[in-house]
Amino acid sequence: MLKPRARLKSVTAITSQWLRERGLKAVLLDLDNTLVPYRTLGEAPEGLLEWLQALKEAGVQVILVSNGSRRRVHYWREKLEIPGFGPAGKPWFGFRKALRRLALTPREVAVVGDQLFTDVLGGNLIGAYTVLVPPLSKKEMGYTRLVRKLERWVLRNPTFGLTAGASEEFDPQEYRQEPTISKGQEEAKP
């Protein structure tokens, strides 16, 4: 339940072609530390608007599903020109609401975020294609910091079967890169 289907270097690594190859029609996006650094307002990070535009032009639906405050989600919805809502109550709530809005089934959507216990868990609970990306900024509130410690522990602990990483790791910019072999896999070999 905590294992992402894919781990990518950044949200912008997701292309319309990548989505199409997996039968995905929409991207349910986390906001904080996935699209923009935690707690920031201001301007969109470089390349983000262009990336969103390219997806929209390719007919991919995009929606924000954020646990951030109403005000914050509203700000970024306007800024990024995409629909969305928050606070969503991930992992238990939010994703099904997004599916209803898009009129799509879980198998048709990617859930993208930087947190195992909200984004990946919530996405897996509904049976969506989950994508984990590294957090954009290290600055987080106390609670999230605590959760991060737990995340790192889960990712390191072989009993969770997560050390082997996601079922696929893909970065269009680095086609030739060797797949990363985790410690757990190395040890499993005779």
Q: Which residues bind Mg ion (CB under 5 A)?
A: 30, 32-34, 114
Nearer to Mg ion by Cβ, of 32 and 108: the residue is 32
Residue indicated by tokens 């781990």: 7
Q: Report the alpha-carbon distance of residue 6 to residue 9 in Å, rounded.
A: 10
Nearer to Mg ion by Cβ, of 35 and 162: the residue is 35
Q: Report the alpha-carbon distance of residue 185 to residue 181 in Å, rounded.
A: 6
Nearer to Mg ion by Cβ, of 75 and 182: the residue is 75
Q: Report the alpha-carbon distance of residue 35 to residue 155 in Å, rounded.
A: 22
Nearer to Mg ion by Cβ, of 115 and 163: the residue is 115
Nearer to Mg ion by Cβ, of 141 and 181: the residue is 141
Q: Report the alpha-carbon distance of residue 158 to residue 91 in Å, rounded.
A: 23
| Beta carbons of 2 and 157 less than 8 angstroms apart | no
Beta-bridge partner residues of 109: 26
Q: How many residues does the chain have?
A: 190
Q: State residue 146 phi and psi, 5-degree precision.
A: -65, -45
